[in-house]
A and B are shown apart, each in its own frame.
Chain A
Amino acid sequence: MINQNLIHTFTQNGISIALDVHSGAVHVLDPLSLALVEAMARLDMPLPPQCPDSLARELGYPEADVREAWEELYSLYEAGTLFSPDDYAPFASKMVPSPVKAMCLHVAHDCNLRCAYCFAGTGAYHGGRSAMPIETGKRAIDYLIHHSAGRRNLEVDFFGGEPLLGFPLVREVVAYARSLEKEHNKRFRFTITTNGVLLDDEKIDFINREMHNVVLSLDGRPEVNDRVRRRVDGSGCYADVLPKFQKLVEQRRKSENPQYYVRGTFTRYNLDFAEDVLHFYRAGFDQVSVEPVVAPADTPYSLTEEHLPAIYAEYERLAKILLDIRGKGEWLNFFHFMVDLEQGPCAIKRLRGCGCGNEYVAVTPDGDVYPCHQFVGLDGWKMGSIWDLSLDETKKADFARATVYDKPECQKCWAKFYCSGGCNANNLQYGGSIRTPNRISCELEKKRVECAIMIKAAEALV
């Protein structure tokens, strides 16, 4: 199609949809208007106000109906919500480095689990196992304040390894950061990602009081989880962790920080991962994210091209399951099916995504600074040190410029404003450059966006 970069059409769950790429408008189409939109995409722009006679005769529908549908579609075209031109590109040239506003604090390069697929080398990040000293944590907060310039709202994620291995540091750093808020006119928001093994009443109380969001790592059904998420002695962790997560969430719903999600990973071992989402739902969790493993193709659990059709089908099945649940007046949120058709992220976020290496950095137990947690330990990607407040401005500017218009594969992709160029770390590890998207990740993202839009359409049509 001549104008295939301007719209994306698809049919799912019996609903035909046209996404206008640059306006974000979503149109639900009947079979005639779907055929007509796809025919319009082959015409030269600008479109004529009246349907060309040859098209009206040859589309295979009554000529009067075709002309009527043309008028409707042409009105959308005139309104700037169909075949709208790309006016995001000028924003790409405004991509200057931003103040640092978010930090991933590696409380421990160690873990009490040995998950098979762990990108962090089971917590050690391919180096020695270590814990962050409390003084390092405090200096990291100083570093964040120093590099945040005029930004008031700052975010710190306690990460690992397993951050609860360094729980005293977490408490001290939260108190230290809070003590600096007034003096520096900052407001900190804390989050934590935990495997739950070390959770107890004291830690649950602290997390629910101080953490704006909490990520609870578990993979789903017990046999799925315990196949890959194992302790050092090889035993599974599901039976121990699930009740702790249930207790945390039950109490959290009554707290001032109700946000949480249970976050699992699916591999080739559980291509029926919708069952794991349902398992979480039946266990009392209504905020769920189950995400595809990203791993070298030669690992026994990796997802490869041959798995794509099965994953597509499972995503579509999961979308229908969500509709069924919501149709009964209940609620289940699946994070990768979230889409905001009314506003969504600002233009800058759409073009640049997560902000790693620019407005977001990770700090190791030694105080080294990396673009994000997934870059930690990769040769050549250290960006600075908290000890001398250094930050490689050349690298920072390069990340700031890494927009969807700076990534050749992304420029013509209809989904570029939803994925914002993919994960730079995955791009580097599997494509050799932060500007080379990982094809499998792209294909899965596109399917998820289609599912998310279909859910919105189905709910609107009820």
Chain B
Amino acid sequence: MKHVKTLNKK
């Protein structure tokens, strides 16, 4: 993604 970087809900 260009604008967002996600780092990562028994």
**Chain A contacts to B: CB under 8 angstroms:** 22-30, 32-33, 68-69, 72-73, 76, 80-81, 84, 87, 341-342, 346, 456-457, 460-461
Query: In whole Å, how far is A36's beta carbon from the nearest beta carbon of chain B?
Result: 8
Contact A72 B5 (CB under 8 A): no
Interface residues of B in 1-10 (CB under 8 A from A): 1-10
- The 4 tightest CB contacts between A and B, nearest first, are A33-B3, A69-B3, A26-B7, A28-B5
Q: Are B6 and A30 in contact (CB under 8 A)?
A: no
* Chain A proximity of B4: nearest CB distance (Å): 5
In contact, A76 and B4 (Cβ under 8 angstroms): yes
Partner of B4, one of A29, A87, A341, A346: A29
Given contacts A341-B7, A346-B10, 4 further A-B contacts (CB under 8 A): A28-B4, A28-B7, A457-B7, A460-B7
- CB pair A456–B7 under 8 Å, yes or no, is yes
- A323 vs B1: C-alpha distance in the bound complex, in angstroms? 25
Sample 5 A-B pairs with CB under 8 A, ordered by A number. Answer: A22-B9, A26-B7, A69-B3, A80-B9, A342-B8
For A29, the chain B residues whose CB sits under 8 A away are: 3-4
Closest to A36 in B: B3
By the criterion CB–CB under 8 Å, are B9 and A27 in contact?
no
Residues in chain A near residue B1, CB distance under 8 A? 72
Q: Report A47 CB to chain B, min CB distance, Å.
A: 15
Q: Are B7 and A72 in contact (CB under 8 A)?
A: no
Q: Name the residue of chain B whose CB is nearest to the CB of A457.
A: B7
* Contact of B8 with A341 in the complex, beta carbons under 8 Å: yes
Taking the nearest CB of chain A, how far is it from the CB of B10, in angstroms? 7
- B8 — which chain A residues lie within 8 A by C-beta? 24-26, 81, 341-342
CA distance A341 to B7 in the complex (A): 8
A341-B3 Cα distance, complex, nearest whole Å: 20
Q: Which chain A residues lie closer than 8 Å to B4 at the CB level?
A: 27-30, 33, 69, 72-73, 76
Most buried by A among B1, B2, B3, B8: B3
B9-A87 in contact (CB<8A): yes
Task: Provide the residues of chain B in CB contact with A73, threshold 8 Å.
Answer: 3-4
From residue A382, how far is it (CB to closest CB) to chain B in Å? 36
Chain B: CB-nearest residue to A70? B3
B7 contacts which chain A residues (CB < 8 A)? 25-28, 341, 456-457, 460
Within the complex, the shortest CB–CB distance from A220 to chain B, in Å, comes to 31
A76-B6 Cα distance, complex, nearest whole Å: 9
**Chain B neighbourhood of A76, CB < 8 A:** 4, 6
